[in-house]
């Protein structure tokens, strides 16, 4: 299994276990946005700690996913971006602007909790 999507209370936790190709990542995006609705999730965490490379398509899809999730009523936090991946993404000019990021799962949960306490229109990433 390349991706697991687990439900934890009102959160969905999606862990990517290995590098996805373009088709798989689009499939993942579709599944996740779908499941936000079925589980009535309010928060989504995408854990990419297992990835040691991320291409521009991958990061753009994650960005789209976060925006789509917000339209479906859930906040997204991307966690576990590796130092080398972060550096490579920045050097290629692929920032994840307007998306929340956190160090790891634990931080991500904390971040979601904080986000969901605040009124929605005050939410802006650091």
Partner 1 sequence: METRSPDEVPVVQEGREEDLELLPELVTHLRDRRTELREQWANRITNAHLLSAMTDEEIFSMATSVYDNYVEVLETGSVEALQAYARDLSERIIPRGVETYEVVGIVLLLRDVLARSLFEKYQKDFELLNRVLDAYEPAANRIANTVAVSFVQERERIIRQQQDAIRELSTPVLQVRERILILPIIGVLDEQRANQFTEQLLAGIRNNRAKVVVIDITGVPDVDSEVANHLVQAVDASRLMGASVILTGLSPEIAQTLVTIGVDLGKMNTVGDLQGGVEEAERLLGFQVTKSDTVGNHQH
Q: List residues binding partner 1 (CB under 8 A).
A: 79, 81, 83-87, 89-91, 95-96, 101-104, 107-108, 111, 126
Question: Which three-class secondary structure state does DSSP give residue 13?
Answer: strand
Task: For partner 1, give the closer residue by CB, 3 or 85.
Answer: 85
Shortest Å distance, C-beta 94 to partner 1: 10
Tokens of 121: 């229109």
Beta carbons within 10 angstroms of residue 59's beta carbon: 21
Task: For partner 1, give the closer residue by CB, 65 or 111.
Answer: 111
Task: For partner 1, give the closer residue by CB, 5 or 96.
Answer: 96
- Residues 106, 81, 24, 68: is their CA dihedral positive or negative? positive
């Amino acid at each position: 299994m390349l991706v697991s999507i687990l439900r934890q209370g009102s959160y969905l936790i999606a862990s990517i276990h290995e590098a996805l190709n373009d088709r798989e990542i689009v499939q993942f995006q579709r599944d996740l946005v779908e499941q936000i609705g079925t589980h009535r999730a309010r928060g989504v965490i995408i854990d990419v700690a297992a990835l040691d490379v991320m291409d521009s398509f991958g990061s753009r899809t994650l960005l789209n996913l976060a925006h789509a999730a917000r339209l479906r009523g859930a906040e997204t936090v991307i966690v576990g971006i590796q130092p080398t991946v972060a550096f490579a993404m920045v050097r290629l000019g692929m920032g994840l602007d307007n998306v929340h990021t956190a160090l790891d799962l634990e931080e991500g949960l904390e971040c979601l909790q904080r986000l969901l306490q605040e009124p929605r229109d005050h939410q802006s990433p650091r």
